[in-house]
Amino acid sequence: MKYLVIVESPTKARTISKFLGKDYNIKFSMGHVMDLPKSNMGIDIEHNFRPLYQVIVDKKKLIAELKTLAKSAERIILATDPDREGEAIASHIADVLGSKSKLQRIAFHEITESAVKEALQNPREIDTNLVNAQTARRVLDRLVGYELSPLLWKKVRRGLSAGRVQSVALRLIIQREREIEKFAKENYFTVQALLSNKQGKAEFELLEINNEKIEAKEKFELYDGEYNVTKTIIDNQKKAEEIVNDLKTKAFTVADVSQKQTKRSPAPPFTTSTLQQDASRRFGFSGKRTMSLAQKLYEEGFITYHRTDSVAISSTAITQFRNYVEREYGSSYLPEKQRIFSAKQKNAQEAHEGIRPTKVNESQLIIERQVGKDYGRLYDLIWRRAVASQMAEAIIESTSVMVNTTRGSENTYKLRASGSVLVFDGFLRLNPQALKDTQLPKFLAKEQLNLQDIRADAHETLPPPRYNEASIIATLEEKGIGRPSTYASIISTLVERSYVERIERKFVPTPIGISVNDFLVANFSTIDDIPFTASMEEELDDVASGKKEWVEMMNDFYTPFEKAIGDAEDSDRVKIATEETDEKCPECGASLVIRHGKFGKFFSCSTFPDCKFTKAYVEETNLLCPKDGGKIIVRKTRKGRKFYGCSNYPKCDFAAWKLEDIKDKSNPKTEKEKPKSETSKLVIN
């Protein structure tokens, strides 16, 4: 054995071993070999925030084996992942092995034979700037967590914890909930007229009255930016009816018919962020699930490295994709020139390419057979997006028909019908979007149209939507909060701590989360905020590029943070809200309330601690089981994922992931009353 190659995982080791001969011994570290201690902060603040890393206890046997192998190896090759964390793992392995003269670092962004062998021909030193950036993040997060969490124990409730980036994500969700609560809905009406000629009929929407547009826009300033609401000036039923009746007296004449062709370009390959967003929208995958699936696909050699904010594609891959498109669909589906993409995000880095398949001929079916269905689904999403990025634009023909009114009262009206037809599908042939042809009849300028029907539709302005997995990730990325590779852990941490819960795929804050947030905002308003957190990410980027020293960055942060900690010691205690119910305590007769604990909701006596009665909380829905008629209730898997099951379990084993799946089973019996969780109100107790 001449060469010892060390990677992180058994899967990665197995894949690489396919490409290298008997001179290479491939071993894995199972992730980090050193970490900060669990029993204390592990940061020597007085000596330049020196992290007191320790060898992980479970890794001692593995490290002893690596040391033995290292002694007999001519060269030790550190082939950990090509990002800051991978660089830190390589650095720690080098520290525990010693043998610095033998050590080499290689990096590759896809686990293919050509990429691995090219990396072996171009070894480099460990990048200390990347290691320092990872160290700074680790120290920063440890300081915040260890110094804020004890405060939460004192001021809110024992067992709580806080994180630097998670706290801002929590604030986003809670601010949105409060913006929804205070949003005043407004009623408005739109008017549609069904007009026809000899060729057919189409629906026209009222645009103007007496040359004044009826559309009105209102702008709201939210915590995360602007929210625009579109409505009309028709704000009551009486006004709408008057307009409808007046239009019935009118003659309708085509004023203008315009047609134009527009081109739609394909999106670039996925980044870490956009992959998580699309997987959430398409499949309902959590960010954590998406990253787990992508990790396996990368380690098996099916896709390029999945922790990236780059959208570039290598020239070799572009040629591969273009040849495939021409072979499968013809030259008309190829753009004249290769498409070159560049990242829009500031300081985009970490990997040289966007996420793409390593071999264009490997299909979803091949991946499903080798590793499983969900892996195949995610692979297909990545494959289609990447290959389609090198296809021709789609061509859409849009038609707009404007109609004016004459005759009748002095009021004049303008209406419009719009249609669109896909002329050439281009990249949409491979990566379809939610497009639907709307074919209008042929209308001619100045021709008279017949009124077939007319109506006024009632609407109300909608508040800004709650965040879901995709939208919170998009906001975190837009605001520069955290790194794309951390989004999954940020969201899963909030759910696991019961600070938020998922209801119909939307994030809703719990009373615990609200209390934690309110305490942090009251006492750490500058730290627990978007601009500060984003600026810290920029500074970490500067450390990674060698523009700033990480100890200097930590000093700038810690001095005001330490003062804020001291000031918060004198702040008032925050009480956690409870939810009232109509139930009475069987032991003392007082009202029962819903409280939130470490494992979620539970019923408790409102007089606690005088009366300590508790019982399990069962969240009901307004549906009955299609199998035996029992109540459909919310249940949880061992890992905490919510699903819907029958209250008569284990006698009835009916279960579903989504309420829609139950409604689709022709559920004949539905309870009219809402579940208690929807009708309860918050009180401070």
Nearest to 534, CA basis, from 466, 495, 483, 592:
483
Nearest to 308, CA basis, from 353, 265, 346, 344:
353
Write out the DSSP string of 60-124: HHHHHHHHHHHHH-SEEEE---SSHHHHHHHHHHHHHH--GGGEEE---SB-SHHHHHHHHHS-B
Residue 382, Cα to own-chain centre: how many angstroms? Answer: 16
Whose tokens are 């990096």? That residue is 107
- Distance between CA atoms of residues 200 and 68, nearest Å: 83
- Distance between CA atoms of residues 175 and 222, nearest Å: 8
Answer left, alpha or beta for residue 86, where phi above 0 means left and psi between -120 and 50 means alpha: alpha
Residue 329 annotated as catalytic: no
Write out the DSSP string of 525-536: TTTSSHHHHHHH
Instruction: Report the chain's terminal Cα–Cα distance, integer Å.
Output: 68
- Cβ pair 214, 220 in contact under 8 A: no
Nearest to 38, CA basis, from 135, 133, 145, 159:
145
- Distance between CA atoms of residues 167 and 521, nearest Å: 9
DSSP-assigned beta bridge partners for residue 51: 43
Return the structure tokens found at 201. 């009929």
CA atoms within 13 A on the CB side of 115: 23
CA atoms within 13 A on the CB side of 476: 32
What are the φ and ψ backbone dihedral angles of 441, each rounded to 5 degrees? Answer: -65, 165
Nearest to 57, CA basis, from 37, 86, 43, 71:
37
- Choosing from 24, 305, 333, 467, the catalytic residue is 305
- Distance between CA atoms of residues 417 and 397, nearest Å: 14
DSSP-assigned beta bridge partners for residue 592: 605
- Distance between CA atoms of residues 229 and 222, nearest Å: 12
Residue 80, Cα to own-chain centre: how many angstroms? Answer: 26
- Cβ pair 179, 229 in contact under 8 A: no
- Rounded to whole angstroms, the maximal C-alpha distance in the chain is 99
Question: In this structure, what DSSP letter does residue 575 have?
Answer: P
Return the structure tokens found at 583. 């139930």
Nearest to 660, CA basis, from 505, 511, 521, 551:
505
- Distance between CA atoms of residues 518 and 509, nearest Å: 12
Mark out the alpha helices in 364-510 (DSSP H runs).
364-371, 373-388, 469-479, 487-496
- The catalytic residues are 305
